[in-house]
Chain A
């Protein structure tokens, strides 16, 4: 993964629990690097070790860590680093979700070694859609996607509810989420 991801994890832990906790997590994960460079590519294993170590050190299930990380990713990393691109992707939650493929195409150009996920949204109603999610990474990142969706809800000031309808690995090649939001959005 790109350093941006690991750096985001570092920022999340530092802002919520302080640098000492991050150093503890880094030691627990046996990650020697003092810091990460956003556009440098790092082995995926580092990110997974950091998530597992954060789960141990913060005494939280890994799913909770991933969910919080997803929310932090949208509200801090993506918005602070690529605000204009995020805002250009959509003016509403619905528009944003529908333009996710567009966004990821751009992301792939910016980060050529990235293996970004693929999303496809099927509108169910004005306040509901099904989001199909494909990834080439190992299974288990669904909580991260859930966190992203909650973060986007906050970004557009639109409370959302998310339900995992289909789980990759249960005989399916991708996961499906049902995303619902308030009519006002």
Chain B
């Protein structure tokens, strides 16, 4: 700005520069008379006395920058441009007196940055000038536009993400052998359904309507409704399994998950859902269920005791045998730790010593314990881990076996061997002793004969004992499988037995009280049955030292819903008291312990063995000094019985 004193041009000079800091004044020759302070800063060459055209060029209105042009367009806004910087001035010319002109305006910029680039600030504009506000509005619009761009970009990204997610879902649905669908709000058609419907039903998407799909459903199971957390509309989701009839006639199980959808105002927009082929899964489930039931049944029926423990050592399951062995119900044991089971076993134990802890039982062997409660039992226990190394340890199974009977049999075998050895040793000792006597002495003929007869008698007894032991062993081993069943008239069997049995010294009178023409018929092994009758008859002879009648008779009875024939042999011999009677079937037991009556003590044991294997029974009654009656009951032959037996032995 010129250092000269400012002129007022009708406005006080100090105010003129404040309110129009970009003004300039010219004379009629376009020479500069005055320049506003702010304009001087951006147009330093525009000084008083210089030609206006040296610094400025007219852009609007059309024409050269002359007084004539200014005069002509005085009513119009003028756009001037500084030659040096290209900054444009917008304003108007006012005609003053004396041919002078005053330009009131300000530089026009497109952005605040341009103002600063030109060496100005918004503070250089007068307060009344809206330039700053206009620029700020423009800036605000640009910011808003950027916001829109940002939002648009974000929406694009979201849309891309949604598409990616949609692709992932589609791939996942395809991989799961499933199809997605969208049913319209009117429930009339599929807005969308995957072409995979063809794979599931044999019908393509074009043929499929909601009603048509429903017509394929044979049955629906597992209907369950749950609140759909993902549903914006807050509706409920449905899940169910359908058995459908596919086009090729096959049946498939489809699991359907669907949800009602609504728009943001809660109006229904239909149903979306997924159909998944779960045929194989259901088949596997059914098989698993079958195996589970099978296993459960096996465990329930198993005489062995099983208890399962989880990885923390707590009981999760035990079978009825385990309950029986411990005398505790499953619900009492569930959840209890192994250590609690140890306490229980110690409490039930028959011994005073503490039992081995379950957790310490070796994997490859079992311990044996004897419980006094709930009843006396001998049990073996072993513990097996569940789960391989790959799956990690899932828990343990405690396996218990009741070996009470086995141990009793072992004991009985030992006892039997001991008795058998003793019974064999007695005649053997006798044979050996008398043989030594013969070898070491010269006896007369009578004595020698007597000793030889004793040796013969004792060795005959030995052979008899060995034969009967072999019979018993054979019969026990065969369990009747080698029995030769046929129809037999009881009369024939009785008659033949009596005929083949020697009546020693004709001491007894044998009476067969059985009419030949009315004999009942049995289905039995003839030889074995005759052996039974022979053993009983032999005892009758032997234990009737004083003679008497031996009566063989037949009776009939109904027993356990069937007809039975009883073959009864009664003697009038020495008989037995109650104690002796109880032991009559014991092996090597003899009613005459003196040995005066020869015998092995195995006969009655063999009798019962053979009769019971033929589905019969033996009853013995006796009175000491009055005689004994033995009755062998066998099933009486009837049409049905024969048919059943023939079928069973075929």
User: Which residue of chain A lies nearest to B141 when distances are taken between CB atoms in the complex?
Assistant: A39
Task: For B123, list chain A residues within 8 Å (CB).
Answer: 88-89
| A35 to B156 alpha-carbon distance, docked (Å) | 13
Task: For B136, list chain A residues within 8 Å (CB).
Answer: 82, 85, 106, 109-110
Shortest distance from the beta carbon of B474 to any chain A beta carbon, whole Å: 88
Shortest distance from the beta carbon of B154 to any chain A beta carbon, whole Å: 6
Q: Is the CB of A87 within 8 A of B158?
A: no
Shortest distance from the beta carbon of B215 to any chain A beta carbon, whole Å: 42
User: Which residue of chain A lies nearest to B264 when distances are taken between CB atoms in the complex?
Assistant: A32
Shortest distance from the beta carbon of A1 to any chain B beta carbon, whole Å: 14
Q: Is the CB of A110 within 8 A of B140?
A: yes
Q: Is the CB of B151 within 8 A of A84?
A: no
Q: Is the CB of A84 within 8 A of B147?
A: no
Q: For the complex, is A25 an interface residue (Cβ under 8 Å from B)?
A: no
Number of interface residues of B (CB under 8 A): 26
Q: 1/0 per position for A52-86, CB-CB distance to B under 8 A?
A: 00000000000000000000000000000111110
Q: Is the CB of B144 within 8 A of A84?
A: no
Q: Is the CB of A83 within 8 A of B112?
A: yes
Q: Which of B114-122, B383-391, B419-427, B603-611 contacts the other chain?
A: B114-122
Q: For the complex, is A20 an interface residue (Cβ under 8 Å from B)?
A: no
Q: Is the CB of B151 within 8 A of A85?
A: no
Q: Is the CB of B139 within 8 A of A37?
A: no
Q: Is the CB of A38 within 8 A of B143?
A: yes
Q: Is the CB of A3 within 8 A of B112?
A: no
Task: For A4, list chain B residues within 8 Å (CB).
Answer: 143
Query: Which of A34, A40, A89 is in CB contact (< 8 Å) with B144?
Result: A40
Task: For A181, list chain B residues within 8 Å (CB).
Answer: none
Shortest distance from the beta carbon of B14 to any chain A beta carbon, whole Å: 21
> Do A109 and B141 form a contact, CB below 8 Å, given A34-B151, A34-B158?
no
> Do A7 and B158 form a contact, CB below 8 Å, given A85-B112, A106-B136?
no
**How many A-B pairs with Cβ below 8 Å?**
65
Q: For the complex, is B148 an interface residue (Cβ under 8 Å from A)?
A: yes
Q: Is the CB of A84 within 8 A of B154?
A: no
User: Which residue of chain B lies nearest to A91 when distances are taken between CB atoms in the complex?
Assistant: B123
Q: For the complex, is A111 an interface residue (Cβ under 8 Å from B)?
A: yes
| A89 to B112 alpha-carbon distance, docked (Å) | 13
> Do A110 and B143 form a contact, CB below 8 Å, given A84-B113, A84-B115?
no
Q: Is the CB of B151 within 8 A of A7?
A: no
Q: Is the CB of A37 within 8 A of B151?
A: yes
| A85 to B148 alpha-carbon distance, docked (Å) | 23
Shortest distance from the beta carbon of B19 to any chain A beta carbon, whole Å: 16
Task: For A84, list chain B residues within 8 Å (CB).
Answer: 112-113, 115-116, 121-122, 135
Q: Is the CB of B147 within 8 A of A106?
A: no
Task: For B155, list chain A residues within 8 Å (CB).
Answer: 34
Number of interface residues of A (CB under 8 A): 23
Query: Which of A35, A40, A85 is in CB contact (< 8 Å) with B150?
Result: A35
Q: Is the CB of B122 within 8 A of A81?
A: no
Task: For B137, list chain A residues within 8 Å (CB).
Answer: 109-110
Main secondary structure of the interface of A (DSSP, over half): helix
User: Which residue of chain A lies nearest to B123 when distances are taken between CB atoms in the complex?
Assistant: A88
Task: For B150, list chain A residues within 8 Å (CB).
Answer: 35
Query: Which of B115, B121, B122, B154 is in CB contact (< 8 Å) with A35?
Result: B154
Q: Which of A1-34 contact B (CB under 8 A)?
A: 3-4, 7, 34
| A37 to B113 alpha-carbon distance, docked (Å) | 23
Q: Is the CB of A39 within 8 A of B140?
A: yes
Query: Which of A7, A81, A88, A111 is in CB contact (< 8 Å) with B121?
Result: A88
| A52 to B527 alpha-carbon distance, docked (Å) | 106
> Do A38 and B144 form a contact, CB below 8 Å, given A84-B121, A85-B122, A106-B133?
yes
> Do A39 and B132 form a contact, CB below 8 Å, given A84-B112, A85-B122, A88-B121?
no
| A87 to B112 alpha-carbon distance, docked (Å) | 11
Task: For A85, list chain B residues within 8 Å (CB).
Answer: 112, 122, 132, 136
> Do A39 and B143 form a contact, CB below 8 Å, given A84-B112, A106-B132?
yes
| A137 to B631 alpha-carbon distance, docked (Å) | 118
Task: For A7, list chain B residues within 8 Å (CB).
Answer: 147
Query: Which of B139, B148, B151, B158 is in CB contact (< 8 Å) with A82?
Result: B139
Q: For the complex, is A156 an interface residue (Cβ under 8 Å from B)?
A: no
User: Which residue of chain B lies nearest to A2 when distances are taken between CB atoms in the complex?
Assistant: B140
Query: Which of B113, B116, B139 is in CB contact (< 8 Å) with A81?
Result: B139
Task: For B144, list chain A residues within 8 Å (CB).
Answer: 3, 37-40
Q: For the complex, is A42 an interface residue (Cβ under 8 Å from B)?
A: no
User: Which residue of chain B lies nearest to A40 when distances are taken between CB atoms in the complex?
Assistant: B144
Q: 1/0 per position for B367-405, CB-CB distance to A under 8 A?
A: 000000000000000000000000000000000000000
Q: 1/0 per position for B141-183, CB-CB distance to A under 8 A?
A: 1011001101100110010000000000000000000000000
Task: For B151, list chain A residues within 8 Å (CB).
Answer: 34-35, 37
Task: For A34, list chain B residues within 8 Å (CB).
Answer: 151, 154-155, 158
The 4 closest A-B pairs by CB, nearest first: A84-B112, A88-B122, A88-B123, A39-B144
Given A35-B151, A85-B122, A89-B123, output 18 extra A-B contacts at Cβ < 8 Å.
A34-B151, A34-B155, A37-B144, A37-B148, A38-B143, A39-B140, A39-B143, A39-B144, A81-B140, A82-B136, A84-B113, A84-B116, A84-B121, A87-B121, A88-B121, A102-B127, A106-B136, A109-B136
22 A-B residue pairs with CB within 8 Å: A4-B143, A34-B158, A35-B154, A37-B144, A37-B148, A37-B151, A38-B140, A38-B147, A39-B141, A40-B144, A81-B139, A81-B140, A81-B143, A82-B112, A84-B115, A87-B121, A89-B123, A106-B133, A109-B130, A110-B133, A110-B137, A110-B140
